[in-house]
Amino acid sequence: MRDQILRVAGYDVDSCETHEEALAKATSNRYDLILIDIDSQHNVRHAEELCSAVKTADPKQRVVFVCNWRVAILNECPDDIVRSEFDPVGFLSGVAAALQDNEAG
C-alpha cells in the first residue's frame, strides 16, 4: 500500500519482500532514501540489522524507519523516523521531509 501511495505521488519506488533482497539491492545501488517499514515491535531487530548493514556498506546512505506510534525505536541507526499511523498524507509529508534533509545534508 505504501509503495502505491509513493508511486501515485510521483516517486520512483524499488521494493523488496525480504531482508536478504533488500540488503543486496541497498548495497549494490545508491538510493536517495531507503525506507525500512516496521510493521510490529517484533521486527525492530531485523530493521536495525538491515540499517546497520546498509550504513556499514555506505555510511552516507540515508535510511529512514517507517512505523506507527506503537513502535519505539531505541537505536540511533536510522537518520529519521517517519510515523505512519494509516495517514497517507502524513506519510508522504514525512518522506518529503526526509528527502529534503538528504538534499540539505
Give residues with Cβ within 8 angstroms of 13, minimum separation 6.
Answer: 3, 6, 7
The residue whose grid cell reads 549494490 is 28
73 versus 14: which is more confidently predicted? 14
Q: Name the pTM for this structure.
A: 0.80
Tell whether the model's pLDDT for residue 74 goes beyond 60: yes
- Four-CA torsion 16, 21, 25, 28, nearest 10 degrees: 180
| Cα–Cα dist 73/22, whole Å | 20
For residue 14, what is its C-alpha cell? 524499488
User: Range of 46's domain?
Assistant: 2-98
| Cα–Cα dist 34/94, whole Å | 13
Here the CATH number for the domain that contains residue 86 is: 3.40.50.2300
Q: Is residue 104 part of a domain?
A: no
* Mean confidence (pLDDT) of the chain: 85
